[in-house]
Structure 1
């Protein structure tokens, strides 16, 4: 009897998940706020023209949002012990972009467009602005009613093994292919020396650097991040191509030029290495098409994680605080 009850509960939960995902539609605001995509796109463009680092910032923010409470804009809440104050969210930028777009949309369509949807659109537009693919974003998410720094502590970390990352992605319904494809977002953006400096000095028991780092790249990274430096220097995640959304990132992994340890470890795992190799390719032109085709699919899949519906969510008036 107990097993039967558990089965019934699982079936109910499954139906709720399917229902939440099925409510999303690229035409969700067609009648209630048809200006939404144009407003978000022009807002991201305006901020990008002043500061191109906004693009990787918004993309990273969307990922961090979806992997905690689901894609519900919980990362946007400002306040003591809110999600955005967590150590794992240090350096997130682009909050002003979302606030700007929300303010405009509240004037045009009061109480209609969720902050979660604005963030999903802004992430897509960031990819397009840096030369990546465009895609139709399913819309209709509600904003969450919880935001806690402690919830963000389980975000994937560059210090973790591929096995740990695989499990964290699987917990969100994402597979190895999704993992490698979404990590490909590191084709744009930078990170601080402090998040990988340990790889450059005394990484091994014998006091050497991480042996998986290509020797010329090691010398360059050590010059940028000296042993006694403050760790705050910005370093490109994608050597020689960090402002362009392309497949150079996967070539860097293949050649031992990845900056973050978790990125380089993708080459050490049989399953993820095969996917990296497919994206890195060896025939000019073909590999870029494959990644550009897969990335939108992975982003859409990620953006449906734990979609809020009904009383579990709301449409915030201001993205940084609950109604």
Structure 2
């Protein structure tokens, strides 16, 4: 293990005993401090996908490939806990933003993406491996881990949204064989990011500002460690009169709860186990954990979308909804769009036997 990662691994093991007062900035510890006028945050190079129209197809495994592929993944996801389902959505995002949607985030070993601090809290690896094992029995060497991650992200979204988010997943991805920890910090938008930084980092992945705002709605479920928003560089719990300040009532509650960086709290304090549009109401009310969420009110273009997505549908006689909140369909479209990023083909990828390691060329 490289010396820097060895130190980080030790620090990670100590986080449970470190109080917020002595919080360690996970980004500064890896060489990437929060942005400031004198030292801008380093952005990943902006480039179009290697194949702007990847050779993906809805129903790719139907007929003679592996007809039960999507159903097998769905069954594995159905058995997951709500927390694991939220983790599967995040897993898809973290995979696609680093090396493209190629399951590189699943690879184990020193200096891989999994060892980087933003990924130490990822969940759902066991669900992916369970689905992969079943698929290898059903149709050996056919279904890529990258497609399993994409299917699982869809199925988890459908489950946590009570069926409001459901979409067809174009498939045919191959698994990559490159996974580097350092790439994580250059590509994953940080929780302390301002509106320009977050927008630019999404743009580098072929996603526009609307996609960014729509996908940010994924923060309506799941949990976060206190150290992600209460640290020596960006302490959201301190008294603050800025336009992005956290609502004092929530901040005071979290000041009591966050006794250590490792304490986990819900991203959405109202509906923590539902993938819903409550997130946008929370943004309006300044009841969000991250600066990257709070800044969505800072421009007229993003604020109008927040307001639109925050609205509840009208109801007839209190039980029959009229209309549909547009965020659910927008989220589905953005997930498909993100899933097209830097898709690997058979020339540069493979179909892994085990999602945590590249194939042994002699045996598979």
| Category of TM-score, reference length = shorter chain | 0.7 to 0.9
Question: 2:207–2:338: 8 Å Cα contact kept in structure 1?
Answer: yes
Match of 1:293 in 2: 329
> Which residue, out of 51, 63, 66, partners 1:17?
51
SS of residue paired to 2:82: coil
Counterparts in 2 of 1:15 and 1:98: CA distance versus 1, 3 Å: closer
Gaps of 5+ in 2: 1-46, 315-320, 360-364
Counterpart contact for 1:203–1:209, Cα < 8 Å: no
1:320 counterpart = 2:356: yes
Give distance in 1, aligned partners of 2:245 and 2:311. 20
Question: Which residue does 1:242 correspond to in 2?
Answer: 272
Q: Helix, strand or coil for the counterpart of 1:146?
A: coil
Q: How does 1:179-190 map to 2 (within 5 A)?
A: 179-190=212-223
1:145 partnered with 2:177: yes
Which blocks of at least 5 consecutive residues in structure 1 are unaligned? 1-12
Of 2, 11, 26 in structure 1, the residue corresponding to residue 58 of structure 2 is 26
Tell me the equivalent position of 1:254.
284
Corresponding residue number in structure 2 for 1:75? 105
Post-superposition shift, 1:129? 1.1
Structure richer in helix, relative to its length: 1
Alpha carbons of structure 1 residues 89 and 108: separation in structure 2 relative to 1, 3 Å: same
Contact 1:74 1:83 in 2 (8 A): yes
Q: Secondary structure at the match of 1:118?
A: helix
Q: 8 Å contact 1:279–1:287 — kept in the other structure?
A: no
Q: Distance in 1 between matches of 2:57 and 2:193?
A: 35
Partners of 1:109 and 1:55 lie apart in 2 by 25
SS in 1 for 2:265: strand
Give the deviation of 1:288 after TM superposition.
5.2
SS in structure 2 opposite 1:59?
helix
Within a 5 Å distance, the mapping from 1:86-101 to structure 2 comes to 86-101=116-131
Q: How many residues align?
A: 300
Deviation string for 1:218-239 (max 9, x for gaps)? 22222222xxx22222111112
Change in CA separation of 1:144 and 1:129 when aligned onto 2, cut-off 3 Å? same
TM-score (norm 1): 0.88
